[in-house]
Structure 1
Amino acid sequence: MNDLPGAVGRLLERERERELDLLTAPVPDSAVTVMTVDGTASVGMTTLVVHPAHRLRAVYPDGCLYVDLRAHSPGPSGRLSPQRVLPRLLRSLGVTDDEIPDGPDELTAAGARRPARCGC
Structure 2
Amino acid sequence: MSGRITTHVLDLAGGKPVAGISLELWYLGAAAGAEQSPSLIGAYKTNADGRIDQPLLAGDEVQPGVYELIFAAGEYFGRMEHLSAIKESIFDFIPIRFRIQDASKHYHVPLLVAPGGYSTYRGS
TM-score by length of 2: 0.27
Higher helix share: 1
